[in-house]
Structure 1
Amino acid sequence: MAWYKDMYPSMSVEELKAKAQRSLADAERSGGHLTPVTVTSRTICRSWWGKAWCRNMETYLDYTNRLPRGRSYVRNGAVIDLSIREGKAEALVQGSEWRPYKVTILVDPLPRERMEKISRLCSRELDSMEELIAGHFPKSLESLLTERGTLFPTPGEIEFYCTCPDSAHMCKHVAAAMYGIGVRLDENPFYFFIFRGIDVERLVKKTLDSRVESMLSHGDVKNDRIIDDKEVENLFHLK
């Protein structure tokens, strides 16, 4: 859009950083408490959770032209505030105007049938489940839980809103906030469970219940490692 480009010309990195710092200082003077997103490494995200979130977002092919600008914005401190709660993330992203833009990201809760599927997958790998709850990601579950439409949201399960004049569904400010969510997942993977409305205690309980049911269903199956009563008598010379 020529109108958009003329009215809001591109900024240098130095200008963007200066405006972001000024907005942070203004918020502090007025008694506000902002939680900026800080990228501390060459890659935006370092953990499995953060990288997986960003990779999933980058499969939203309709928005690939906004992603490079979003990466530049988050790397240079433009996401000056980001909060995550169940089903909703809100951010302030500095742009060309004096005041930062407000970004809202809404995500659907994980559907019950998908939760059931994840529980069944995890029940086969109790050790992996412990890793998952500890904030790590078990390699044994990676291909299962990153399959499209399993754990991470599809384009149809997420909505974006920004107060900037760009008519694109995902503008660069939204893209920056989305990468910012990945950084937050580096800091605490449980933000993901909160965001998608996943009850971790319920997930653990369902996983354990599924495992117990599986064990009970095989309770009468003969196993070479299980000795019967006659073998016990012979082993201990019982009469």
Structure 2
Amino acid sequence: MGRNDDGRWAPYVSVAQRRAEAAKAVKALKKKGRDCLPVVVDARTIAHTFWGKKWCDNLEQYSDYENRLPRGRTYVRNGSVVDLQIGPESITALVAGSRVYQVSVTVRPLEPALWQTILARCAGQVGSLVDLLQGRLPAAVMEVVAQAGSGLFPAPRQIRFSCSCPDGAGMCKHIAAALYGVGNRLDLQPELLFLLRNIDPAELIQGAVHGSLVQAETDSGQNLGDADLSALFGIDLDVAAVTIARDAVSAPVTTISAGELTARGVPVHMRQCWLKSGVLLASGQRAVYGLADHSEKAIADYLARRAR
């Protein structure tokens, strides 16, 4: 139990009551125009994938957090995190308890020197963005990116948080629930970890891509446009599309904006990959892309894979 604003112990709130309050809070917020992204945990397992599990593991290895984390796990499993938003260096959440509380978390960006060290240690070992985001990494790379204090996951000294609840503890159960919610969200959107730390996941594969392209040109005498980009970027790619992207076509093409792609669920790093591979074409306009004949199918296939 937590304390009320007047310092008295708050009455016990059952799981059923908490879920009902959470549902009521979401409904009220939607009426006000807020697009809530609740955290939904299947069974008791908060995270299933490499990135989600490593985020939770990282939280649990710090003694700073050990006293409050168990209550946070209970809250997130009960569906109490009714909204979770992750952006550059920030996490905001609404967590339902005896009432709905606002949680704000600030995470320092990864230090440039540390990021360069990680890039150097992983150089040539990450084959594609799809492999990276799905956690299909060599053991040596996993050790580097998940290492406490020097990997991609923040240490306590890099995290600042606050909650609107009256609990005077450094980390209340609502903050703990929100932090566990991040692990759950990384299962579906691992790219959010890189957004949170203000780094570009594509940089982790640039060395491998560059080396592969140079080797392909040396072995076959082909130029960049003829390289096997579908293998390099882990996506289905029609060779004809590469030719379209390489040869500046003068005929009018259908376009799509960055905003439309974001609304459909396409993250920034995929747009960058698709520009290189020919799924999207440079239009000459800011934040506007040309579409090749196969583009819509490639986008639909990608979104279907993410939904599975």
TM-score of the pair, normalised by structure 2: 0.62
Native 8 Å contact 1:35 1:80 kept in 2: yes
* Alpha carbons of structure 1 residues 77 and 130: separation in structure 2 relative to 1, 3 Å: closer
Structure 2 residue 197 is the aligned partner of structure 1 residue 196: yes
Structure 2 residue 21 is the aligned partner of structure 1 residue 19: yes
SS of corresponding position for 1:102: strand
SS of corresponding position for 1:83: strand
Native 8 Å contact 2:2 2:167 kept in 1: no
The CA distance in 2 between the partners of 1:196 and 1:47, in whole Å, is 19
Structure 2 residue 111 is the aligned partner of structure 1 residue 111: yes
Compare relative contact order (CA 8 Å, sep 6+) and give the higher one, 1 or 2.
1
Cα deviation for residue 127 of structure 1 reads: 3.2
Range with greater deviation from structure 2 (136-145 or 100-109): 136-145
Per-residue Cα deviation, 1:105-130 (whole angstroms, up to 9, x for no partner): 11111111111111112114143776
Native 8 Å contact 2:76 2:180 kept in 1: yes
Cα deviation for residue 199 of structure 1 reads: 1.8
Structure 2 residue 48 is the aligned partner of structure 1 residue 49: no
Native 8 Å contact 1:36 1:82 kept in 2: yes
* Alpha carbons of structure 1 residues 167 and 130: separation in structure 2 relative to 1, 3 Å: same
Task: Count the aligned residue pairs.
Answer: 209
Range with greater deviation from structure 2 (40-49 or 122-131): 122-131
Q: After the TM superposition, which residues 169-208 of structure 1 pair with which residues of structure 2 at under 5 Å, given as runs?
A: 169-205=170-206
Native 8 Å contact 1:37 1:81 kept in 2: yes
Q: After the TM superposition, which residues 118-133 of structure 1 pair with which residues of structure 2 at under 5 Å, given as runs?
A: 118-127=118-127, 131-132=131-132
The CA distance in 2 between the partners of 1:126 and 1:69, in whole Å, is 37
Cα deviation for residue 84 of structure 1 reads: 0.5
Native 8 Å contact 1:122 1:129 kept in 2: no
- Report the AA paired with residue 148 of structure 1: A
TM-align CA RMSD: 2.4
The CA distance in 1 between the partners of 2:128 and 2:203, in whole Å, is 16
SS of corresponding position for 2:39: coil
* Alpha carbons of structure 1 residues 3 and 119: separation in structure 2 relative to 1, 3 Å: closer
The CA distance in 2 between the partners of 1:178 and 1:158, in whole Å, is 11
Question: Identity of paired residues, percent?
Answer: 40
* Alpha carbons of structure 1 residues 130 and 92: separation in structure 2 relative to 1, 3 Å: closer
Cα deviation for residue 207 of structure 1 reads: 6.0
Structure 2 residue 159 is the aligned partner of structure 1 residue 154: no
What is the aligned partner in structure 2 of residue 135 from structure 1? 134
Rg (Cα) greater in structure: 1
- Report the AA paired with residue 193 of structure 1: F
Cα deviation for residue 10 of structure 1 reads: 2.8
* Alpha carbons of structure 1 residues 144 and 203: separation in structure 2 relative to 1, 3 Å: closer
What is the aligned partner in structure 1 of residue 258 from structure 2? none
The CA distance in 2 between the partners of 1:104 and 1:49, in whole Å, is 22
The CA distance in 2 between the partners of 1:10 and 1:189, in whole Å, is 36
* Alpha carbons of structure 1 residues 127 and 93: separation in structure 2 relative to 1, 3 Å: same
The CA distance in 1 between the partners of 2:176 and 2:23, in whole Å, is 20
What is the aligned partner in structure 1 of residue 42 from structure 2? 40
The CA distance in 2 between the partners of 1:130 and 1:28, in whole Å, is 34
Structure 2 residue 7 is the aligned partner of structure 1 residue 8: no
* Alpha carbons of structure 1 residues 190 and 2: separation in structure 2 relative to 1, 3 Å: closer
Native 8 Å contact 1:81 1:91 kept in 2: yes
2:68 to 36, 44, 66: 66
SS of corresponding position for 1:6: coil
Gaps of 5+ in 2: 216-308
TM-score of the pair, normalised by structure 1: 0.79
Range with greater deviation from structure 2 (178-187 or 196-205): 196-205
